[in-house]
Structure 1
Amino acid sequence: MNNKTILITGCSTGFGKLTARLFQSKGWNVIATMRSPEKETELNKLPNVLVTRLDVTEPQSITDAIIAGMEQFGAIEALVNNAGISGMGVFEQWDDQEINAIFNTNVYGPMRVTQQVLPIMRNQKEGVIINISSLAGILGSPYSSVYSAAKFAVEGLTEALALEYAPFNIKTKVIAPGAYETNLFTTIPHRILANGDQQIRDYSDKMLQKMNATMEQMRQQGAQESDPQEVADKIYQCVTEETSVHNVSGSDAEAILQMKKSMPEDQLMKAISDMFVPELHTA
């Protein structure tokens, strides 16, 4: 039995739920948090799993979840900031409300949770923090400008924390998953796509068609479907083994990272543009 404890945000679906299951199977105590724990029917049946409410946009709910976890398990050796929301659209289609929502959950959320867990880890003289970023945090993604900006922020936050808290024996790492079929991308607020003037809406529609066509072409060429379990496995590896601060998961993320490292910037930008950005034919 491991007897160590991990707190994971966003455990209702996808990476979070898979990660909770994996750590529980490895003997960890798991504080599995989500916004609506009353709807959970699987994790709460597992031994050494505490399912409790945590909304990263509500500081008091973070405090309550941490208190509940400490009362039950007595420590938090690892934290996974997994909760997130996504969004697509040309930049002009984003209004302040939608931008704030992305940053509130994807950037300020991990900041809030991390700030409350860090004192516990300092007192324990050990800890590992894993932030979940995205392929959009490695390379600015067309049609995902605001989401990319948020995930770039997560990458930068992680790098800074890794340096700041190393003297306390607290490791901070980030994992950038590629494209996986998870609930994150089935709940994209498509209402954004209705914003903007006619030219922008038409351009947005063409870009979405171009991106879908590219993804379909990749599937027809035999691109393997990515298994979300890969991300859970990568999280476990980063918590339990010595790995770098910046990590990726998925063949597409690995390919983009390699392109970014090996290609001149202008060539890289052209390659991404050819894949995802439609041409505009103006008279």
Structure 2
Amino acid sequence: MTQTVLITGASTGFGRATAQLFAERGWNVVATMRDPAAGADLSDRPDICVTRLDVQDRDSIDAAVATGIARFGAIDAVVNNAGFGLFGIFEGATREKIQEQFDVNVFGVMDVTRAILPHFRSRGRGTIVNVSSGAGVFGLPMISLYNASKFALEGFSESLSYELRSQGIAVKIVEPGGVLDTRFSARSTDEFGQAPVPQGYEEFVASAARVFEGLRENRLATSADVADVIYEATTDGSDRLRYVATEDIQPLVRARRETSEAAYMAFMRGKFGG
């Protein structure tokens, strides 16, 4: 039987590319987004169901899962892709923005996961793919809140994988870095523009901005490349937990995971000072 995947944040970027790829490879797709009008062109295909899901609205999550099951009979995989990143000095962030960062990137993933688990357990199988980030592996200045949310997602996903393996359900983590064709950096910049830089940080912010500009220049991957890795994680049938999705973050991932703590900290402080 044709398998079905539900994808959050499918209107743009990784989510849209992933929805298109799964459909091209013979899957049914429940492409969810806050504003279904943004995916009107996707809904022209009979194998793609575009429906509303706002990860901050639990009723919309339950409704999207029910819609997907009613349309295609079952859901075999969920890709938790919806997310955004706050950029700026932590001291300048408001309590409301901090809450929103975790509501979307962490609690939203948890709520979608909780909504699909009864269905997966009733069938004795299913796959959950959580889209993390290089920022879930290594810390960077200016994105402490985004880092915190993705570190939380990584810990949650790993712990959950042990629990759900007993139920026949796989959990996977996909870790992309920067790509060329999403609005992620633009939204982060917009958020930064709304947050004040506390006095005394100006020199550090200017220095960090130059490092980030260098990182952006190393971006070579596209959303389609990340979608390929998400598809691999969903379908390879392996016990593998983590998938690094873009080459640009490999040096930082290796530094974090394959060197000593002292060597790693010296490497990072050499980049960012301190």
In which range does the TM-score fall when normalised by the shorter chain?
over 0.9
Match of 1:15 in 2: 14
Query: Structure 1-normalised TM-score?
Result: 0.90
Matched, 1:186 2:182: no
Cα shift at 1:254:
2.5
Deviation at 1:243, TM superposition (A): 4.8
Matched, 1:119 2:118: yes
Q: Which moved more, 1:167-176 or 1:180-189?
A: 180-189
Residue 144 (structure 1) aligns with: 143
Match of 1:199 in 2: 200
Alpha-carbon contact 1:92-1:200 (below 8 Å) kept: no
Distance 2:184 2:191 in 1: 16
Question: In the alignment, what sits opposite 1:251?
Answer: 247
Secondary structure of residue in 2 paired with 1:199:
coil
1:274 aligns with 2:270: yes
Give the total of aligned pairs: 271
> Contact 1:94–1:192 (CA<8 Å) still a contact in 2?
no
CA shift, 1:39, in A, is: 2.7
Change in 2 beyond 3 A, CA 1:178/1:191: closer
Deviation at 1:201, TM superposition (A): 4.3
Q: Distance in 2 between matches of 1:33 and 1:159?
A: 25
Among 223, 232, 239, the residue aligned to 2:234: 239
- Over 3 Å counting, the alpha-carbon distance change for 1:189 and 1:224 in structure 2 is closer
CA contact (8 A) 1:176 1:253 kept: no
In 2, Cα distance between the equivalents of 1:224 and 1:63? 36
Contact 1:174 1:245 in 2 (8 A): yes
Q: Counterpart of 1:44 in 2: which secondary structure? A: helix
Once the two structures are TM-superposed, the CA of residue 272 in structure 1 deviates from its matched residue by 2.2
Q: Unpaired runs of 5+ in structure 1?
A: none
Whether the 8 Å contact between 1:159 and 1:245 is mirrored in structure 2 is yes
2: distance between equivalents of 1:104 and 1:127? 24
State the Cα distance separating 1:67 from its structure 2 match: 1.1
8 Å CA contact 1:93, 1:192 repeated in 2: no
State the percentage of identical aligned residues: 35
Give distance in 2, aligned partners of 1:74 and 1:47.
14
> Within 1, Cα distance between the matches of 2:76 and 2:99?
31
Distance verdict in 2 for CA 1:91–1:254, change over 3 Å: same
Mapping 1:13-52, distance limit 5 Å: 13-52=12-51
Partner of 1:110: 109
**How big is the shift at 1:263?**
2.0
Q: Is the 8 A contact 2:133 2:177 kept in 1?
A: yes
In 2, Cα distance between equivalents of 1:191 and 1:231: 24
- TM-score normalized by structure 2? 0.93
264-273 vs 31-40, which moves further: 264-273
Q: How does 1:84-99 map to 2 (within 5 A)?
A: 84-99=83-98
Q: Structure 2 unaligned runs (5+)?
A: none
Instruction: Tell me the SS of whatever aligns to 1:187.
Output: helix
CA deviation digits over 1:159-218, x for unaligned, max 9? 111100111100001111011131222211545454243213453244223422x337xx
Q: Does the CA contact (< 8 Å) of 1:195 and 1:201 recur in 2?
A: no
Q: Distance in 1 between matches of 2:189 and 2:222?
A: 24
Question: Match of 2:55?
Answer: 56
